[in-house]
């Protein structure tokens, strides 16, 4: 427990440092700030480490040329999108897909259909999903980025403490035997609290937020709803990874983070929450700007 707590605090400290860089390093580069690019660099590290963990758990099921493409994909995808826009995410992704399929022909003796499918999975999860986080970092107000990183950790913490305290019926025993209904309820409450805190703290912070409604209480309610749905996606992301690990017969996705496992074990909820936050702040809320 001590090892897990210390590692969790170190992870939080790293995130806070990059948030501070994002907020206060305002040197202009290509129409955006150096702090924004530094935050993208953190996301790139998460994607690259996550892709490496995916390759490790699938071991020899993915052919070597496809392993190379899987590693190169986030290294090219996130920086190109960060520097030149969302269009490059589409270009790099389509190029990577074509490369995977084209390479299968000369390497037909070692390539399998299962390997090709696992290659695509390792590209999308996590790198493809983290594209949404890059979009939030560039296209949405600072509050959206904070929200994306606040809801999942608080939902996880509340789920753990409420679940271990009250226990009760299992949420999905065949997938994750330790998760309880009470823990899930605690996680939903944690997501709501996190979203409300983000809204209230940043509501009057000029330059860091965008007001979507004239009245603060409406905005707080909207954020609370986003936190609630975000917590649901966080729980779903956790269950999906638990299912994957159960099918593969492994305990953790990696060993990089003592007490937590690998990077994928730490960001599984964020990966599922990111597309939701990106969709809401890039497509749903802008028409309501007060």
Q: How is the chain split into domains, by residue range?
A: 1-139, 140-290
| pLDDT tens for the 290 residues of the chain, in order | 677 778 888 998 999 999 999 989 989 887 789 999 999 999 999 999 999 999 999 988 999 999 999 999 999 999 999 988 889 999 999 999 999 999 999 998 999 999 999 999 999 999 999 999 999 999 878 899 999 999 999 999 999 999 999 988 999 999 988 899 999 999 999 999 999 999 999 998 877 888 899 899 999 999 999 999 999 999 999 999 999 999 999 988 988 888 778 999 999 999 999 999 999 999 999 998 87
CA–CA distance from 258 to each of 2, 16, 46, 142 (Å)?
Answer: 10, 20, 16, 30
Backbone CA torsion sign across 130, 134, 139, 145:
positive
Residue 60 confidence (pLDDT): 85
Angle at 183 between CA 182 and CA 185, to 5 degrees: 65
Backbone angles phi, psi at 146, to 5 degrees: -60, -40
Find the distance separating the first CA and the last CA of the chain, reported in whole Å: 46
Q: Provide the 8-state DSSP code for 172.
A: E
The label of the residue with tokens 């299992």 reads 170
Length of the chain: 290
Q: Which positions ≥6 away from 27 have C-beta within 8 Å? A: 33, 34, 35
Q: Hey, what are 278's tokens?
A: 């990106």
In 27-175, DSSP assigns E strands to 28-29, 32-33, 170-172
Q: Hey, what are 115's tokens?
A: 């390997």
Name the residue among 145, 137, 154 with its Cα closest to residue 8: 154
What is the C-alpha to C-alpha distance for residues 239 and 242, in angstroms, rounded to an integer?
5
pTM of the model: 0.93
Q: Which positions ≥6 away from 277 have C-beta within 8 Å? A: 132, 136, 140, 144, 147, 148, 226, 230
Residue 1 confidence (pLDDT): 67
In the chain, DSSP assigns E strands to 28-29, 32-33, 170-172, 176-180
């Amino acid at each position: 427990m001590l090892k897990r707590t210390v590692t969790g605090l170190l992870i939080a400290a790293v995130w806070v440092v990059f948030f501070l860089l994002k907020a206060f390093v305002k040197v202009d580069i290509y129409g955006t700030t150096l702090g924004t690019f530094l935050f993208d660099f953190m996301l790139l590290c998460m994607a690259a480490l996550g892709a490496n963990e995916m390759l490790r758990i699938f071991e020899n099921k993915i052919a070597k040329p496809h392993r190379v493409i899987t590693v190169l994909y986030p290294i090219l995808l996130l920086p190109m999108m960060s520097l030149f826009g969302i269009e490059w995410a589409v270009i790099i992704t389509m190029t990577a897909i074509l490369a995977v399929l084209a390479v299968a022909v000369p390497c037909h003796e070692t390539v399998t259909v299962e390997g090709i499918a696992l290659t695509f999975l390792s590209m999308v999860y996590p790198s493809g999903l983290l594209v949404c986080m890059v979009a939030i970092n560039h296209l949405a107000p600072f509050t959206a980025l904070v929200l994306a990183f606040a809801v999942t950790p608080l939902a996880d913490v509340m789920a753990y403490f409420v679940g271990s305290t009250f226990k009760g019926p299992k949420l999905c025993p065949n997938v994750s035997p330790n998760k309880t209904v009470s823990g899930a309820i605690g996680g939903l409450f944690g997501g709501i609290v996190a979203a409300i805190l983000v809204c209230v703290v940043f509501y009057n912070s000029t330059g860091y937020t965008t007001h979507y409604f004239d009245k603060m209480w409406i905005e707080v309610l909207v954020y609370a709803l986003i936190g609630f749905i975000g917590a649901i996606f966080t729980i779903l992301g956790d269950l999906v990874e638990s299912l994957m690990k159960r099918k593969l017969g492994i305990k953790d996705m990696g060993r990089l983070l003592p007490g937590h496992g690998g990077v994928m074990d730490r960001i599984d909820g964020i990966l599922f929450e990111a597309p939701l936050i990106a969709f809401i702040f890039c497509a749903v809320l802008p028409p309501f700007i007060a």
